[in-house]
Structure 1
Amino acid sequence: MPRRLLPVPPMRGDPSRRRRPRRTAARPSGSISGRRPGAGYPEGLALLKIAVLNTYAPFIRGGAEYLAESLTSKLREYGHEAALVRIPFSWEPPPKVLEGLLAARLVRIPGAQLVIGLKFPAYLVPHDNKVLWLLHQYRQAYDLWNTPFQGLPDTREGIQIRDIVRQADNLYLRQAKKIFTNSHVTSNRLMQFNGIPSEVLYPPLFDARGLECEEYGDFVFCPGRVTTSKRQYLLVEALQYCSPEVKLVIAGMEEAPEDGMLIRKLISDYGLGARVTFLNGFISEEQKAAYYRRALACAYVPYDEDSYGYVTLEAFHCKKPVLTCTDSGGIHILVKHGKTGFTAAPEPRAIAAALDAFYQDKAATARMGSASYDFIQSLHIDWDHVIAKLTQ
């Protein structure tokens, strides 16, 4: 296994190294959503050929994939010529991590005048004009080391993989012209482990149409990829301690078969079949929006999330408060205890008390929902700002 990383020289005649004249235009008028960029987007910015770089793991889809597709579509909407480039990546068995790292360093993006990297190892692709919107690094080599979510073996080989990942980040992240992150959590981690400064750039929703409040119903909605780190199982375990009126809807694709099996087993073991609906699989954006509109509240309880998460942002657009946990990380950017939702300790009885509170005073729940909507409106999380920052 290699112990040192050497810069990979550019291919001879690599088109990505040649300077191209930039087109300049007034504010673009085309829009795939039928809307024009707002007044906050500067006129006269150059129109570029842009490659958005993200990783690709077959049959796994989460917030990062949604953001990569949204960014690519929005760049086109604002007049740029954009392409989404997915770099295949696997972390099982662990040596595959280094194969993915090397593969990214060997990739070239012919014709791109700007590349925007999002995740490890895709953000390691070489380019003279590269900007990063860092969603997260390979956290198993950083803050998840020595935790239950470490992933890498605590062996000589695992330590070597960890060290090479860190060395690669220390060397190649500094080659970016500018580094933005999706939250203060990600920025703080990058500074703590790599000593690299960055600027926070909050991700907006692609399209908030259809996300509104229809009613405050009789269930708590928990959408998203089903996996151990998202901890949907905590909500099921909590339900055994809740009042009988509390109901839960979990919706999302399982990351591994054992993730879905755990949820089904807990539902069966605790006799919660009448109170927990588990929609294990893909649901459309329209279906998801319909559940948001009719939910009483939402729950999002991952372990140490990098950002506030799309679940939180979508819920707030629908005026639904969110339950999260004290160790859920960046979600606390939006969830303020007793104001826009509840924050509970990551154990079943504490979560149960918060779930009960949503039902005990539904008028207060509705007030928190309205406050959550007002709060995100005050933050001006919009695409005009994002596209201008990434392309200037």
Structure 2
Amino acid sequence: MKPKVAIVAAGSGSGETGGAERFFLGLRDALQAIGLDVELLHIPSVEANFDTIEESYLRFYDLDLSAYDGVITSKAPSYAVRHPNHVCYLQHTMRVFYDMFETEFGEGSPGLNRQRALIHALDTAALKAPRTRKLFAIGEEVASRLRQYNGLDATVIRHPTNLTGLREGSFRHLFMPGRLHRWKRVDLAIEAMRYVKAPVELVISGAGEDAERFKALAAGDPRIRFTGWISDEDLLALYQDALAVLFVPQREDMGLITFEAFHAGKPVITTTDSGEPARFVEDGETGFVTAPDPVDIAARIDRFAADPALAEAMGRKGRQAAEQVTWEKVAVALATALELPFTPSAG
């Protein structure tokens, strides 16, 4: 009989398919591919206010997972579960109580700081041994935060995208996919376009709470186009014909956009404070890692616009780097940590 494993997924229940949702599906499929019986459990986690956040921690703590031989968690607060064979492959803690606290609240009120301290204490207790047999992180950015705020070490294993059909086409427009949220710094890309000399279009896809603000900032520049939410088919087409992919978030956990761009044979322009993308993009080889300054970003855009062959060559190197990141490596590491028998592929 195959070992039975639960992947406990914390989610808003919005039904949207983003990076987190693709992560859970990719992890499930990878574990099944090495011979495990995997069930993906979607458990609501509401972050509307601190009361609902506390309720979410309790919801996971109270889960009965005794029917499973092993449990894998990832996002906060799923790792509050209780199971003797629990491994966490951490996507992120609640960032608003961590590295983005000052960005959102400044010094914070006494009440907010008490809440922050409580979240840190809960997370540290839940993530350290023996409650968690082994702690993994999806990237160096997440592992660094764990060391800084929780005093915990994690093994880093990057995972790929499970968006299929990515391929190289022509090199026409700049492409910026993703959630339209202030932490993604779409405004920085819009500001950079004011300094771009080349007649190149910036296509921005996705939806989010800051969409209207970004559209207002871009008003009057005919080179900037917003598509709104798009299907995977349209997403693939925009990747396919991109000159380069612009990805300039603030301290991003992972950023599957980087891997998707590389698999489409496209270079990535990112910034030194963009977190994991800045660690994975090799400056001058697979894209550009520049200062988070609109003038500097514009200079890199103009360089690609003047030399599409350079973009093509960098994109080719990016694809080679992305191909080394596989779901099987992730699945084997997690199954080994759970001490469950598995069958790796012959390849």
Partner SS state of residue 10, structure 2 = strand
Q: Shift in Å at residue 66 of structure 1?
A: 1.3
Q: Does 1:230 align with 2:177?
A: no
Q: Shift in Å at residue 78 of structure 1?
A: 3.3
Query: For residue 390 of structure 1, what is the aligned residue in structure 2?
Result: 334
Structure 2 counterpart of 1:297, one-letter code: A
Structure 1 counterpart of 2:10, one-letter code: T
How many positions carry a matched residue from both structures?
333
Q: Shift in Å at residue 384 of structure 1?
A: 2.0
Partner SS state of residue 233, structure 1 = helix
- The structure that has the greater radius of gyration is 1
Alpha-carbon distance in structure 2 between the residues aligned to 1:93 and 1:178: 30
Query: For residue 261 of structure 1, what is the aligned residue in structure 2?
Result: 212
Structure 1 counterpart of 2:115, one-letter code: I
Normalised by the length of structure 1, the TM-score is: 0.80
Moved more, 160-169 or 86-95: 86-95
Q: Does 1:279 align with 2:230?
A: no
Q: How does 1:3-22 map to 2 (within 5 A)?
A: none
Q: Shift in Å at residue 205 of structure 1?
A: 2.3
CA contact (8 A) 1:181 1:198 kept: yes
Query: For residue 87 of structure 1, what is the aligned residue in structure 2?
Result: 43
Match of 1:342 among 288, 291, 311: 288
Query: For residue 212 of structure 1, what is the aligned residue in structure 2?
Result: 167
Alpha-carbon distance in structure 1 between the residues aligned to 2:52 and 2:69: 30
> Sequence identity, in percent?
33
Query: For residue 319 of structure 2, what is the aligned residue in structure 1?
Result: 373
CA contact (8 A) 2:88 2:135 kept: yes
Structure 1 counterpart of 2:248, one-letter code: V
Structure 1 counterpart of 2:234, one-letter code: Q
CA contact (8 A) 1:304 1:328 kept: yes
Cα distance per residue 1:59-95 (max 9 Å; x no partner): 3543122101221233233332222222322223233
Alpha-carbon distance in structure 2 between the residues aligned to 1:375 and 1:57: 33
Alpha-carbon distance in structure 1 between the residues aligned to 2:62 and 2:212: 39
Alpha-carbon distance in structure 2 between the residues aligned to 1:311 and 1:207: 10
CA contact (8 A) 2:8 2:41 kept: yes
Structure 1 counterpart of 2:182, one-letter code: T
CA contact (8 A) 1:98 1:161 kept: no
Query: For residue 112 of structure 1, what is the aligned residue in structure 2?
Result: 68
Partner SS state of residue 96, structure 1 = helix
Partner SS state of residue 101, structure 2 = coil
Query: For residue 48 of structure 1, what is the aligned residue in structure 2?
Result: 3
Q: How does 1:240-259 map to 2 (within 5 A)?
A: 240-254=194-208, 256=209, 259=210
CA contact (8 A) 2:198 2:302 kept: no
Alpha-carbon distance in structure 2 between the residues aligned to 1:365 and 1:170: 43
Query: For residue 86 of structure 2, what is the aligned residue in structure 1?
Result: 130
User: In the superposition, relative to structure 1, how do residues 207 and 230 fare at CA in structure 2: closer, same or farther (>3 Å)?
Assistant: closer
Cα distance per residue 1:149-169 (max 9 Å; x no partner): 459x81222112111111112
Normalised by the length of structure 2, the TM-score is: 0.90
Which stretches in structure 2 are left out of the alignment for 5+ residues? 337-347
Higher RCO (C-alpha 8 Å, min separation 6):
2
Q: Does 1:313 align with 2:259?
A: yes
